[in-house]
Amino acid sequence: MIRVIIFLSFFFCAIIHAQSLNFGKVLYDNFGQPLLGFHILEFRLVNDNGVKSLWGQKTRVFVSDGILNIVLGDVNQGASGPFPEELINTHKLEISENGVVLQSVSLSPQQDN
């Protein structure tokens, strides 16, 4: 009985603390100007061969002077599920609007030389 309670407690904690990633970036349009105002952006993880992962997020965001701040992996903000942190070192984050890729950025931690 105690094992069942411990398992259920762990299960509910895992759901409440789903994986998310705070992400900030300066975005520019195709003319090199910083984005302004509301935009519907799509975020996808893409490997080096251009293959997109199953995870994605499409949401309406406000961008001020090109500065974007978003929580990736929040299903309340259009994510298909929790952010798959295990893909950070093997995939890039592709940011697009209306099917046009604005930027593709590496999420892996930078190493100091």
User: Considering the entire predicted model, what is its pTM?
Assistant: 0.76
5-50 confidence digits (pLDDT tens)? 433 333 333 343 458 888 899 998 888 999 999 999 999 999 888 8
- What pLDDT sits at residue 12? 37
Q: Is-contact 90 62, C-beta < 8 A?
A: no
Q: For residue 32, what are the contacts with CB-CB under 8 A and spacing of at least 6?
A: none
Give me the chain's average pLDDT, please: 81
